[in-house]
Amino acid sequence: MWQPCVLLKYGELMLKGRNRGRFENLLIRNARRALSELPHPVRVRRRRGLLLLSAPDHPELQTELVARARQLIGVSVVQPAIRVDRTPEAAVDAALRLARRARPAATAAFAVRARRRHKDFPMTSSQLQAHLGDRIHAALGWPVDLTAPEVEIAVEVDLHEIFVSVERYRGLDGLPVGSSGRALALLSGGYDSPVAAFRLMRRGLACDFVHFTGAPLTGPASAYKAYALARRLARFQGETRLWLVPLGQAQRELALAGAGALQIVAQRRLMLRVADRIARGHGAHALVTGDSLGQVSSQTLSNLGTVERAAELPVLRPLLAWGKEEIMAEAGRLGTAEISRLPDEDCCSLLLPRSVATRTTPAQLDGFERRLDLDDTVEALLAKAQCLPVCAGAGEDADVPSRRAAS
Ligand code: ATP
Ligand code: MG
């Protein structure tokens, strides 16, 4: 047997004790989904403390499996490996072939790290390690260096097979998406909100999205951006929905009612009211925003407090303590920065007051909102909301499907 495969090792999942089975099942489901678009079927199998991916008749898919696995939330280490028979000879043969492949024309200091996940193997880990080390040294003439090897050969004895590998990559870590439930993330076209959603996906939260456009006062650019961002994020979780809500008319009503310096905070409260209703109607248990304390005047402590009173669901703000540079760096790694960078006409840039109140109270906003028929406004916005199914994608090749009516 000589089967290229990929081992997925758990990080935090290992700490889950009796609940681990549930987390593992979710990870397996997410892995199957993430691999389902590949041209050939992929097997996802459970081994003690890890998952095993393989495309039985298509060893050439190994590189692609590695790339996909590195995007899988809940995996801490991604290790391409060769699966061989459960004998020391098979392990030696695989180790030699991998070592030669890793350094075709050179001598390299090497180390063998062996471990047994099942103990009923005729050699102990250290005996196996020594045996492999001797054989490789004899065959290749490479020196052994256990502290800083150039090539590290990992040999893992499992119940039915041995895995041999010379490479390992860091995964995304975190908890499998879905293990913490579902939330609705408020997605603007900026850098922050996609990062906020991603950070919570890494805590196991599946996210749908809502984006407020300035329509009919602005063009469609921000909706295209929101769709591209949602599509980029969908690759971490699969099935995703994006609601588009045209806020322009309601923004104008707020302005005409004399919101003045309260305009931005009043808009945010309106967004939260609408988002809260969509979320509760579609099985989400929290809202997510990209707020970062003090980033702009609408994000002072008192304004954040005033805004969140408008929602019944908890408002999660994973970036609250992040600085802009950290957020931008994460957006770069995530591939959302290149989308956020595109120009658009954010709904909030319309009807901007000359000054923005930095200290507001809920009572102040309640007072202002009594001048309006806010319930009617919320109902009208919900009636105009459109729900788009988002399919996972790389983002740069995102294309927007024709709109569908809200469900
Ligand atoms: P981002 O925060 O995404 O970079 P931004 O900086 O333009 O965009 P802020 O003014 O900081 O947005 O708004 C704070 C948060 O409010 C955003 O992170 C987002 O969660 C939410 N939000 C703002 N505008 C919109 C919008 N048009 N649609 C949906 N959510 C929005
Ligand atoms: Mg922001």
Would you say residue 144 lies in a domain? yes
User: 113: CA distance to ligand 2 center in Å?
Assistant: 47
Question: Ligand 1: distance of its center to the CA of 190 in Å?
Answer: 6
133 and 259 in a common domain: no
Dist. CA 345–CA 216, nearest whole Å: 12
Bridge pairing between strands 43-47 and 240-246: unpaired
Taking residues 96-101, report their average pLDDT: 95
**Whether 261 and 301 share a structural domain:** yes
The dihedral region occupied by 100, where left means phi > 0, alpha psi between -120 and 50, and beta the remainder, is: alpha
Say yes or no: 126 and 207 in one domain.
Answer: no
The predicted pLDDT at position 347 comes to 66
What is the rounded average pLDDT of the residues 178-205?
97
Q: Is 318 in the pocket of ligand 1 (CB under 6 A)?
A: no
Q: For position 261, which CATH number holds?
A: 3.40.50.620
Report pLDDT for 396.
Answer: 39
Per the structure, how many domains does the chain have? Answer: 3
- Concatenated DSSP letters of 87-109: SHHHHHHHHHHHHHHHSTTS---
Q: Whose CA is nearest to atom 22 of ligand 1?
A: 188
Closest CA to 248 of 267, 272, 261: 267
Q: Please, which pLDDT band fits residue 393 given cuts at 50, 70 and 90?
A: low
Residue 343 lies in domain = 182-390
Q: Is 276 inside a domain boundary?
A: yes
Ligand nearest to C-alpha 330: 1
**Based on the domain organization, do 70 and 104 belong to the same domain?**
no
396 part of a folded domain: no
At 151 the pLDDT is 96
Q: Is position 202 annotated in a ligand binding site?
A: no
Alpha carbon nearest to ligand 1 atom 20, residue: 289
Give tens-digit pLDDT for 8-20.
999 887 788 888 8
pLDDT of residue 348: 62
Q: Write the secondary structure of 122-168 as one string of H (helix), E (strand) and C (coil).
A: CCCHHHHHHHHHHHHHHHHCCCECCCCCCEEEEEEECCCCEEEECCC
pLDDT band for 350, please (50, 70, 90 cuts): low
Is there a domain that residue 215 lies in? yes
- CA dist 134 to 92, 142, 161, 227, 290, Å? 10, 10, 22, 57, 56
58 assigned ligand-binding residue:
no
Predicted structure pTM score: 0.92
Residue 275 within any structural domain of the chain: yes
229 is in an annotated binding site: no
Q: Taking residues 162-172, what's their average pLDDT? A: 97
End-of-domain residue from the set 85, 100, 127 = 85
| 87 Cβ contact list (under 8 Å, min separation 6) | 162
Phi, psi for residue 309 in degrees, rounded to 5:
-65, -20
Quick one: 15 and 54 in the same domain? yes
Confidence (pLDDT) at 120: 87
DSSP 68: H
Q: 78 and 130 share a domain?
A: no
Q: Is residue 248 in some structural domain?
A: yes
- Say if 404 falls within a structural domain: no
Comparing 109-113, 260-264, 342-346, the range with the smallest average pLDDT is 342-346
> Comparing 12-26, 140-154, 361-375, 389-403, which segment has the lowest mean pLDDT?
389-403
Last residue in a domain, options 37, 56, 85: 85
Query: Which amino acid residue places its CA nearest to atom 31 of ligand 1?
Result: 188
Q: Whose CA is nearest to atom 14 of ligand 1?
A: 291
Domain CATH for 3:
3.30.70.1510
Scanning the structure block, which residue is given the tokens 């989400």? Answer: 284
CA 230 to ligand 2 centroid distance, Å: 17
Q: Give the chain's end-to-end CA distance (angstroms, integer).
A: 51
* Mean predicted confidence (pLDDT) in 164-174: 96
Interacting residues of 79 by C-beta distance below 8 A, sequence separation 6+: 6, 7, 8, 9, 154, 163, 165, 167, 168, 169
Would you tell me how many other CB atoms lie within 10 Å of the CB of residue 70? 16
Residue 299 assigned to a binding site? yes
Asked whether 291 lines ligand 1 (CB < 6 A), one says yes
Say if residue 52 is in the same domain as residue 95.
no
CB of 336 closer than 6 angstroms to any ligand 1 atom: no
Please say whether the beta carbons of 176 and 183 come within 8 A: no
- Which of 184, 186, 198, 358, when mutated, tests ligand 1's pocket best, judged by the most ligand atoms within 8 Å of its CB? 186
More confident residue, 386 or 57: 386
| DSSP 8-state assignment for residue 203 | B
* CB neighbourhood size of 323 (10 A): 12
CA 332 to centroid of ligand 1, rounded, Å: 18
Least confident of 45-49, 242-246, 324-328, 359-363: 45-49
Cα 213 to averaged position of ligand 2 atoms, centre (Å):
16
Are 341 and 362 contained in the same domain?
A: yes
Closest C-alpha among 205, 195, 239, 134 to residue 332: 195
d(C-alpha 350, C-alpha 345), whole Å:
8
Which residue has the CA at smallest separation from atom 2 of ligand 1?
Answer: 192
CA distance 75 to 69: 8
Instruction: Say yes or no to pLDDT of 212 above 90.
Output: yes
Mean predicted confidence (pLDDT) in 214-238 = 95
The answer to the question of residue 119 being in a domain is: yes
Last residue of a domain, one of 41, 70, 85: 85
Ligand 1, atom 16: nearest CA belongs to which residue? 289
Q: Does the C-beta of 211 come closer than 6 Å to ligand 1?
A: yes
Q: Is the CB of 296 under 6 A from ligand 1?
A: yes
Same domain, 270 and 320: yes
Condensed to tens digits (0 to 9), the pLDDT of residues 100-122 reads: 999 988 899 999 999 998 888 99
Question: Which whole-number Å values give the CA distances from 392 to 18, 123, 401, in the listed order?
Answer: 32, 46, 13
Residues 212 and 359 in one domain: yes
> Helix, strand or coil for residue 117?
coil
pLDDT band at 405 (very low <50, low <70, confident <90, very high): very low
pLDDT at 154 over 80: yes
Task: Tell me the pLDDT of the chain averaged across its residues.
Answer: 93
CATH number (domain holding residue 119): 3.30.2300.10
- 201/260 same-domain check: yes
The model's pLDDT over 264-303, given as tens digits with 9 standing for 90+, comes to 999 999 999 999 999 999 999 999 999 999 988 889 999 9
User: In the structure encoding, which two tokens stand for residue 338, read together?
Assistant: 């290149």
Is there a cis peptide before residue 318, judged by omega within 30 degrees of 0? no
Whether residue 329 sits in one domain with residue 303: yes
Q: Is the CB of 290 under 6 A from ligand 1?
A: yes
80: Cβ below 6 Å to ligand 1? no
